[in-house]
């Protein structure tokens, strides 16, 4: 009897294990609801009004600096200083996005409990082969070692080199914000300026500037920011932290084999987290070539 | 004494109440081992060795194992301050990531805490440690082994896997059953043919928090195996199937995975023949679908290529198993010419010929990225067009007299760098290699061993040479000098000597060695699993000891 009970038990356990397997027939979730027609029309109108005010715009090559950082990384404030200096030097032509990711961005130990991380930031950290912070990417252009990851010291030269390139795409961002619901509608218009081959994808992200939160800071000689005390700085001002990516780490296909003068329109809707200050938020949109991962153009608009 | 007290306490905490402390310590033993690798780094721009901020990095391990009768408990302290170059920075820190207690009673063996385990050849489950790779996917949970009747062995596991000093997100549960037909009854035990059957199933659970996909939260895999041996012949076969397991590594491919491993061997006095074939399709299996590298791997795909130990063939172009798809086969014949025969001479001669090749699997694109995402279809028995690796080698071992012996090896490699190392545009390497390993024994304590190796190729970084002289004063001392020279590099400033000198001292079960010199950038592989190693220059001190 004992052995019969035992084998029944084993059979039950085996059945339970075999049933522990989900087979998915529809991998992709239902498509994200596009903005209602009234919203897209409103965005189109706002864009037309903006165009009439701006008049013809000469396309400009803009550059994205992604600063991979973390609040327990004591030499990351030094990298933030470098990013700030570069921003001061290049103005609107440089878009900076602080991507908090990996070990130094963990938020499970006091006082570092602010969650700056995003799934996309973590994914980029892994997939682009980052090992530690601070490090960065400039337009995700690969260096000689076949990696897009750049140490802080290499940022300025890489930015300068990217600035010299001819613009390939002209991008325009239009936003509509509803304070009551905190709903944000975005339109990204992209105009390809030359014939190109391959697939070009668009990624849209929300950043928030001037967030006061803890940050570990080393001495200036160890890569810290001398403007702050050494140690756990309670009132550190975090600049342009990436808060959310609206369309995944790979983004969405914008155009395949585009021809010169091809224009694309992409619409997005999101809701700003109540903890984010809208007036400090910006929309960052960039287009990259799938085959190389290199960013061809980036644009930023502040919500104010 | 402190260690005994600590482990006694640990043991007591896990013991069943009916064991008294006195009974426990009656036949208690403690043993353990220690390892420390500490390296002082200096910047070396010529080889691309970066400046290391900490200057000195170290990896340290200490195992303590307590046994008393059917009870055992143990713990491993690890210390990475900070991790050596090439090891994942997430190891930074120190702690006791491995501790366990285990007892056996009434044909049961129960382990609580950490454990390593393998089902079959590991196609769907293997938790193991490979310290040289920084790989440790130990389970943390419960394991039960049970033998209900003679010849039937059951295992059940549940837990989470180690990820640095934390645990992975996924929960792993599995069971394995193995039946040795010949052990089942006395009637079968007299049969000339031995048959062992096995089956296993593993499932992992991880919540779906990805907005882009509907992900399977429970992913199951099953495997069946058979081993038949009769006389000088042994046959082994294992087939594994894994349900849809989209992950970062397979680019969220929902195609089920499959693997097949077949090996056969024949041996008789002086002659050994072995052959094997393997097919792997989408079998990267991890307890965290977002993990990459060697982190949180749940399975192991045995390599079907020769695992070389000589410096150039082992370090310049080692093959890394491609879990997303490969088909390979290998054959080896070794023959020992008898003593006093024309080819055997006074001491006999051994010759071994080995050939292996690895190719892609055939893939027909399904263009279903936006629907079912199975990505491709593949005929199970068809090779793809792309060759990843092949290796033909002949090894001759000869003892000339009581003082002199030598091993001569010729190798011919084909190596697809882009696939094996995941690089872009590096192309393929065709290389011929030769190794001469000569040992001369002056007397019972003094001997010298020399290795001369060359790798001839026009591809990649061009040809390499390597020389090693190792002088041993048994049983305590050895000193060695090694030089790897990239003399065939097309860029003359990259024709670099990677020279190292080592001094080592052994005493009983302890060993200390110091190595000074350059380490080239590349990959290090163990059993087809690899990690990147950056270039370095400096002094490495290693200490190992056991008691």
Contacts of A29 (CB under 8 A, 6+ apart): B211, B212, B213, B214
What DSSP letter does each residue of A154-203 carry, written as one string? GHHHHHHHHHTSPP-EEEEEEEEEETTTTEEEEEEEEEE-S---SEEEEE
Interchain CB distance below 8 Å, A103 and B88: no
- The whole-angstrom separation of Cα B286 and Cα B295 is 8
Q: Which of B225, B227, B219 is nearest to B253 (CA)?
A: B219
pLDDT digits (tens, 9 = 90+) for B62-102: 999 999 999 999 999 999 999 999 999 999 999 999 999 99
- B248:A126 CB<8 A: yes
Q: Angle B477-B478-B480 (CA atoms, 0-180°, nearest 5)? A: 160
Contact A6 B148 (CB under 8 A): yes
User: Nearest CA to B198 among B173, B174, B230, B172?
Assistant: B174
- Give the pLDDT band (50/70/90) at residue A7: low
The pLDDT, as a whole number, for residue B10 is: 47
- Nearest-CB residue to B89 (from A14, A25, A132): A132
CA distance B142 to chain A (A): 15
Cα B508 to chain centroid distance, Å, stands at 27
Among B428, B388, B394, residue whose Cα is nearest residue B412: B394
Does A24 contact B292 at a Cβ distance shorter than 8 Å? no
Instruction: Give pLDDT, residue A84.
Output: 96
Question: How far is the alpha carbon of B274 from chain A, nearest alpha carbon, in Å?
Answer: 35
Asked if B126 and B119 touch (Cβ cutoff 8 Å), the reply is yes
Sorted by sequence, the CB contacts under 8 Å of residue A139 that are 6+ apart come out as: A63, A64, A158, A162, A294, A295, A298
Q: What share of chain B is helix, strand, coil (3-state, %, to 5)?
A: 10, 55, 35
DSSP string across B127-195: E-EEGGGTEE--EEEEEEEE-SSTTEEEEEEEEEEEETTEE-SSEEEEEEEEEEHHHH-HHHHT-SEEE
Q: What are phi and psi of A215, to 5 degrees?
A: -155, 135
Cβ–Cβ gap B254/A27 under 8 Å? yes
Token output for A207:
């950043």
Helix, strand, coil share of chain A (percent; to 5): 30, 35, 40
Chain A residues whose CB is inside 8 A of the B290 CB are 122-123, 126
Residue A56 and residue A52: Cα distance in Å, rounded?
8
Contacts of B95 (CB under 8 A, 6+ apart): B77, B78, B165
Q: Containing H/E element for B69?
A: none
Q: What is the pLDDT of residue B524?
A: 83
Q: How far is B132 from chain A (nearest CA, A)?
A: 18
Nearest chain B Cα to A223, which residue? B53
Minimal-distance CA residue of chain B relative to A123: B290
Please judge whether B220 and A103 are an interchain contact, meaning their C-beta atoms are less than 8 angstroms apart: no
Could B88 and A131 be called an inter-chain contact, meaning their C-beta atoms sit closer than 8 Å? yes
* Whether the Cβ atoms of residue A81 and residue A88 lie closer than 8 Å to each other: no
Distance CA A273, CA A278 (A): 9
- The whole-chain average pLDDT of chain A stands at 90
What's the pLDDT score for residue B351?
97
Q: How far is A28 from chain B (nearest CA, A)?
A: 5
Nearest chain B Cα distance for residue A237, angstroms: 26
d(CA B223, CA B118): 12
Report the run of H or E that residue B125 belongs to, with start and end.
none
Residue B4 belongs to what H/E stretch?
helix B2-14
What gap in Å lies between CA B45 and CA B461, rounded to an integer? 18
DSSP string, A216-253: EE--GGGT--TTS-SEEEEEEEE-SEEEEETT-TT-EE
Residue B149: its pLDDT value, please? 93
The CATH number of domain A37-52+60-302 is 1.10.287.610: no
Rounded to whole angstroms, how far apart are CA atoms B413 and B389? 7
Interchain pair B244, A24: CB under 8 A: yes
**A252: chain B residues, CB-CB within 8 Å:** none
A181-202 burial by CB neighbour count: b if 16+ within 10 A, else e? eeebbbbbbbbbbeebeeebbb
Q: Which of B291, B220, B221, B374 is nearest to A27 (CA)?
A: B374
Return the pLDDT at B215.
Answer: 93
Q: How confident is the model at residue B4 (pLDDT cuts 50, 70, 90)?
A: very low
Give residue B185's pLDDT: 87
pLDDT number for residue A8: 59
Of B148, B248, B373, the CB nearest to A27: B373
First to last CA, chain A: 77
DSSP state of B301: -
Q: Which residues of A touch B370 (CB under 8 A)?
A: 28
User: Using CB atoms, which residue from B154, B201, B209 is nearest to A17?
Assistant: B201
The alpha carbon dihedral of B186, B187, B188, B190 has a sign of positive
Mapped onto helix, strand or coil, the DSSP state of residue B9 is helix
Per-residue pLDDT, B214: 86
Instruction: Determine the distance in angstroms separating the CA of A132 from the nearest CA of chain B, rounded to an integer.
Output: 7
As a whole number of angstroms, the longest Cα–Cα distance in chain A is 90
Give whole-number Cα distances, B144 to B42, B157, B177, in Å: 49, 6, 12
A24/B215 Cβ within 8 A: yes
Examine the pLDDT at B528 and tell me if it is beyond 90: no
Which pLDDT score is estimated for B343?
Answer: 85
Bridge partners (DSSP) of residue B113 are B100, B141
Residue position matching structure tokens 């089942």: B184
User: What's the pLDDT at A37?
Assistant: 79
> Least CA distance to B370: which residue of chain A?
A28
Supply B453's token pair.
């190796």
B122 pLDDT higher than 90: yes
* CB environment A229-240: b (16+ within 10 A), e (fewer): eeebbeebebbb
SS (H, E, C) B390-459: EEEEEEEEEECCCCEEEEEEEEEEEEEHHHHCCCCCCCEEEEEEEEEEEEEECCCCEEEEEEEEEEECCC
What are the chain A neighbours of B252 within 8 Å (beta carbons)? Answer: 27
**Dist CA B38 CA B81 (whole Å):** 9
Provide the pLDDT for residue B532: 82
Distance from CA of A67 to the nearest CA of B (A): 19
Q: Mean per-residue pLDDT for B281-306?
A: 95
Per-residue pLDDT tens digits for B129-186: 999 999 999 999 999 999 999 999 999 999 999 999 999 999 999 999 999 999 998 8
| A123:B290 CB<8 A | yes
pLDDT band of A237, cuts 50, 70, 90: very high
Token pair in block for residue A121 = 């930031």
**Chain A residues within an 8 Å CB radius of B244:** 22-24
What b/e string do you get for B273-294 counting C-beta neighbours within 10 Å, with b at 16 or more?
A: bbbbbbbbbbbbbbbbbbbbbb
- CA-based nearest distance B506→chain A, Å: 36
Of B94, B95, B70, B71, which Cα lies nearest the Cα of B7? B71
For position A108, what pLDDT does the model report?
87
In DSSP terms, B228 is beta-bridged to B195, B235
Is A22's CB within 8 Å of B216's CB?
Answer: yes
- pLDDT of A57 over the 90 cut: no
The answer to whether B105 and B70 are in contact (CB under 8 A) is yes
- Mutation test of the interface with chain B: which of A27, A76, A125, A204, choosing the one with the most B Cβ atoms within 10 A? A27
What would the pLDDT profile of B469-512 be if each residue is shown by its tens digit?
Answer: 999 999 999 999 999 999 999 999 999 999 999 999 999 999 99
What is the rounded average pLDDT for all residues in chain B? Answer: 92
Residues 6+ apart with CB under 8 A from A60: A93, A167
Of B225-234, B442-451, B519-528, the one with minimum mean pLDDT is B519-528
Instruction: Tell me which H or E stretch contains A3.
Output: helix A2-19
- Considering only CB atoms, which chain A residues are within 8 Å of B218? 20-22
What pLDDT is recorded for position B405?
96
> For residue A15, with 0-12 CB atoms within 10 Å meaning exposed, 13-18 middle and 19 or more buried, which class applies?
exposed
pLDDT band at B2 (very low <50, low <70, confident <90, very high): very low
Closest to B323 in 3D by CA, of B288, B265, B279: B279
pTM over 0.80: no
Q: B208 falls in which pLDDT band (50, 70, 90)?
A: confident
Across residues A270-279, what is the average pLDDT? 93
pLDDT of residue B503: 97
Put simply, the answer to whether A21 touches B220 (Cβ < 8 Å) is: yes
Count contacts between A and B (CB, < 8 Å): 85
Q: Per-residue b/e over B510-530, b at no fewer than 16 CB within 10 Å?
A: ebebebebbbbebbbbebbbb
């Amino acid at each position: 009897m004992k052995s019969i009970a035992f084998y029944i038990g084993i059979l039950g356990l085996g059945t339970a294990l075999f049933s522990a397997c989900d087979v998915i027939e529809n991998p992709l979730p239902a498509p994200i609801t596009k903005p209602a027609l009234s919203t897209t029309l409103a965005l189109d109108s706002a864009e037309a009004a903006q165009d009439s005010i701006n008049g013809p715009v000469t396309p400009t090559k803009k550059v994205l600096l992604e600063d991979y950082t973390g609040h327990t990384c004591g030499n990351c404030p030094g990298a933030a200083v470098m990013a700030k200096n570069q921003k001061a030097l290049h103005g609107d032509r440089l878009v900076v996005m602080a991507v908090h990711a990996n070990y130094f961005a963990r938020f499970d130990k006091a006082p570092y409990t602010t969650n700056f991380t995003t799934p996309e930031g973590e994914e980029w950290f892994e997939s682009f082969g980052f090992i530690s912070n601070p490090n960065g990417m400039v337009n995700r252009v690969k260096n000689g070692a076949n990696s897009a990851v750049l140490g802080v010291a290499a940022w300025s030269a890489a930015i300068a080199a990217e600035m010299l390139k001819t613009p390939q795409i002209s991008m325009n961002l239009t936003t509509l914000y509803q304070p009551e619901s905190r709903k944000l509608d975005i339109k990204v218009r992209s105009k390809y300026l030359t014939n190109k081959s391959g697939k070009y994808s668009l990624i849209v992200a929300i950043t928030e500037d001037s967030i006061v939160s803890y940050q570990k800071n080393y001495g200036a000689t160890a890569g810290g920011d001398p403007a702050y005390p050494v140690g756990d700085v309670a009132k550190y001002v975090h600049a342009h932290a990436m808060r959310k990516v609206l369309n995944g780490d790979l983004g969405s296909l914008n155009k395949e084999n585009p021809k010169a003068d091809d224009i694309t329109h992409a619409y997005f809707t999101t809701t700003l987290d109540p903890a984010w200050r809208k007036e400090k938020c910006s929309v960052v949109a960039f287009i990259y070539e799938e085959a190389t991962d290199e960013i061809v153009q980036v644009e930023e608009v502040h919500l104010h | 004494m402190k260690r005994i007290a600590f482990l006694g306490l640990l043991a007591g905490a896990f013991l069943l109440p009916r064991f008294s402390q006195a009974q426990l310590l009656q036949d208690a033993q403690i043993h353990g081992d220690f390892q420390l690798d500490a390296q002082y780094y200096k910047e070396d721009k010529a080889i691309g060795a970066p400046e290391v901020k900490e200057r000195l990095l170290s990896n340290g391990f200490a195992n303590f194992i307590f046994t008393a009768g059917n009870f055992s408990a143990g713990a491993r302290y690890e210390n990475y301050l900070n991790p050596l170059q090439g090891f994942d920075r997430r190891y930074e820190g120190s702690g006791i990531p491995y501790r366990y207690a285990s007892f056996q009673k009434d044909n049961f063996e129960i382990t609580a805490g950490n454990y390593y385990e393998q089902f079959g050849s590991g196609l769907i489950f293997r938790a193991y440690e490979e310290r040289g790779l920084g790989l440790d996917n130990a389970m943390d949970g419960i394991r039960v082994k049970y033998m209900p009747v003679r010849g039937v062995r059951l295992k059940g596991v549940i837990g989470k896997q180690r990820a640095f000093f934390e645990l992975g997100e996924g929960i792993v549960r599995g069971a394995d059953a193995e039946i040795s037909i010949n052990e089942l009854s006395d009637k079968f035990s007299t049969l000339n043919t031995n048959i062992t059957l096995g089956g296993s199933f593993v499932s992992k659970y991880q919540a779906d928090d990805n907005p882009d996909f509907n992900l399977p939260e429970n992913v199951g895999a099953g495997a069946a195996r058979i081993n038949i041996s009769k006389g000088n012949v042994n046959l082994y076969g294992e087939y594994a199937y894994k349900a849809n397991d989209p992950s970062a590594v397979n680019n969220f491919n929902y195609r089920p995975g499959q693997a097949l491993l077949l090996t056969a061997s024949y041996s008789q006095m002086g002659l050994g023949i072995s052959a094997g074939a393997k097919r792997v399709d989408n079998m990267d299996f991890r307890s965290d679908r977002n993990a990459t590298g060697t982190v949180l791997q749940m399975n192991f795909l045995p390599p079907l290529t020769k695992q070389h130990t000589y410096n150039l063939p082992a370090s310049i172009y080692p093959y890394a198993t491609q879990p997303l798809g490969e088909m390979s086969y290998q054959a080896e014949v070794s023959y020992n010419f008898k003593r006093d025969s024309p080819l055997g001479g006074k001491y006999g001669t051994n010759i071994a010929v080995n050939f292996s090749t690895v190719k892609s699997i055939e893939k027909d694109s399904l263009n279903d990225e936006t629907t079912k995402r199975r990505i491709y279809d593949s005929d199970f028995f068809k090779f793809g067009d792309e060759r990843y690796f092949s290796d033909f080698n002949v090894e001759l071992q000869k003892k000339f007299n009581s003082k002199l012996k030598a091993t001569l090896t010729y190798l011919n490699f084909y190596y697809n760098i882009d696939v094996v190392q995941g690089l872009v545009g590096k192309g393929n390497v065709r290389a011929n290699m030769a190794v001469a390993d000569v040992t001369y024994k002056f007397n019972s304590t003094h001997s010298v061993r020399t290795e001369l190796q060359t790798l001839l190729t026009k591809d990649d970084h061009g040809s390499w040479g390597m020389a090693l002289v190792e002088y041993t004063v048994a049983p305590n001392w050895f000193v060695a000098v090694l030089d790897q020279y990239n003399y065939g590099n097309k860029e003359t400033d990259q024709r670099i000597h990677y020279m190292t000198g080592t001094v080592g001292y052994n005493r009983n079960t302890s060993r200390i060695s110091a190595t000074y010199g350059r380490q080239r950038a590349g990959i290090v592989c163990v059993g087809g699993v690899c990690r990147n190693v950056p270039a370095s220059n400096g002094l490495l001190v290693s200490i190992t000891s056991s008691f």
